[in-house]
Amino acid sequence: MTFVDTLAFQLFSLAFVSGLLFYSGLVGYVTYLRFGPHRTFEHLKAQVVPLAGLGVIITAIGLWGEIAWPLPGSYNILFFDPYVLLGIVLLGFAASVVFRWRTQYVGLLAAMVGLLSIYYGAEAYNLGLTKEPLAMFLLYFAMGGTAVFTFPVTLWLDRYVLTPLSASATPSESPGTSPTSIAQMTSEVKLLFALFLLFLLFAAGSAIAALWIGGGALPQHLTYAP
């Protein structure tokens, strides 16, 4: 089997996904506070365009890697198993938003994929795989944490964005009428808000880690391309 090294591109695609999640999550929450669920849903529909595009590419590369087995030995398992599952999660989330289905089931799948990614990263670190096992573990941990905390984010989306859309027939809302301003938060919303902050933290961390590792790998890959 001919060796084809897609690792640098895979790392940058992970950084793009994490960066999009961080930005869209932050802007989406501010949009909800200022304008309510209808405007937030419009934001979500715009968000799924780049996420779905990345999901198609990630799923395609992941499936190719699972079938072609282009890397040496266990590296195919380490780099392609969580990768293809990430693509499926992205496509599932995009479909849920477009068809206004509940997103929590995709969020639950994301949480399971996240826990699996952390496990893969921990085992790779224990076995000393890659030239920088600690950096790789931190990347898997950050990406896994982002996926795990996607689940409470989807619970919030279902309860405070999609449910009000189903109950209301009119899209008109006035700025500042959101029921979950900081001062009015219930204990449930406070918990979801805290988990949402952790989601943003992990998303930012995984974007930085992927860019750091991918940026370091790219010059060598360009110099010694297969």
- Residue 174 is predicted with a pLDDT of 42
Whether 225 shows a pLDDT value over 80: the answer reads: no
149 in Cβ contact with 195 (< 8 Å): yes
Q: Looking at the domain assignment, is residue 55 inside a domain?
A: yes
Structural domains of the chain, count: 1
Q: With a threshold of 0.85, does the pTM exceed it?
A: yes
Quick: pLDDT tens for 7-27.
889 999 999 999 999 999 999
102 in Cβ contact with 96 (< 8 Å): yes
Domain interval for residue 214: 7-166+203-221
Confidence of residue 194 (pLDDT cuts 50, 70, 90): very high
Q: Looking up tokens 């391309």, which residue turns up?
A: 225
Confidence of residue 185 (pLDDT cuts 50, 70, 90): low
Q: Looking at the domain assignment, is residue 91 inside a domain?
A: yes
Q: Looking at the domain assignment, is residue 154 inside a domain?
A: yes
- For the chain, the three-class secondary structure string (H helix, E strand, C coil) is CCCCCCHHHHHHHHHHHHHHHHHHHHHHHHHHHHHCHHHHHHHHHHHHHHHHHHHHHHHHHHHHHHHHCCCCCCHHHHHHHHHHHHHHHHHHHHHHHHCCCCCHHHHHHHHHHHHHHHHHHHHHHHHCCCCCHHHHHHHHHHHHHHHHCHHHHHHHHHHHHHHHHHHCCCCCCCCCCCCCCHHHCCHHHHHHHHHHHHHHHHHHHHHHHHHHHHHHHHHHHHHCCC
